[in-house]
Amino acid sequence: MKSKLLFLLSIAIVGASFTVPEKVAKKADKVIGKFYDVELFYKEIAAISEGDNAATVAEFGSENLFKIMRADEFLGYGYIGNAPSKTATFDYLVLFDENFVITKSKVLIYREEYGGEIGSKRWLRQFEGNTVSSPEFKYNENIIPISGATISVQSMTRAMNELLQSIRTLQERKAL
């Protein structure tokens, strides 16, 4: 009885960590293949310990931070996140080079009727070239607001700040 209870508890703990839905992962794979101009690549999961994850503000689950590889060639890092919009959430992808400089960001799935303009390439380009040591993103200062997408813009801005802050923490802890 005790072993059965422990088994069920371990399944519940594993299930509680962030996992990337299959539909989101497929969209991310398309973006990655197009960005790196490759048909075949694989993702090598960057395992983040519970202690390191607890020290960050962004959520690192079992598969949302990864190295992007082709054969034995390192292409970059990827992160798949989820952020709140007005009444739902949206999924996004951030690609980094080997030094964790943002090379691309993409909204993968947006679930609201309004605010989808944050998925525009032009708006998302604001994040490219930034690193863990770049100044914090600030709505209406160095991040352009979008009329009708205020909540989503602020949410994406916050998510990007939290991601870069978390990457910096992981680097300081020698977890990356």
Percent of the chain with pLDDT over 70: 90
Give the DSSP H or E segment for 91: strand 89-96
Question: Tokens 């996140």, residue?
Answer: 81
**Does the residue 11 lie in any domain?**
no
Q: Which two tokens stand for residue 67?
A: 């190295």
> What pLDDT shows up at residue 135?
94
> In which element (H, E) is residue 15 found?
helix 2-16
Inside any domain, residue 12? no
User: Which residue's structure tokens are 């202690």?
Assistant: 51
| H helices present in 17-143, as ranges | 22-36, 50-54, 121-124
* 7 lies in some domain: no
Over 60: is that where the pLDDT of 122 sits? Answer: yes
* pLDDT interval class at 18 (50, 70, 90): low
Give me the domain span that covers residue 26: 19-172
Which segments of 100-171 are extended strands (E)?
Answer: 102-110
> What confidence tier does 15 reach under pLDDT thresholds 50, 70, 90?
very low
- Confirm whether 1 is domain-assigned: no
Quick check: is 71 in a domain?
A: yes
Q: What is the mean pLDDT of the chain?
A: 89
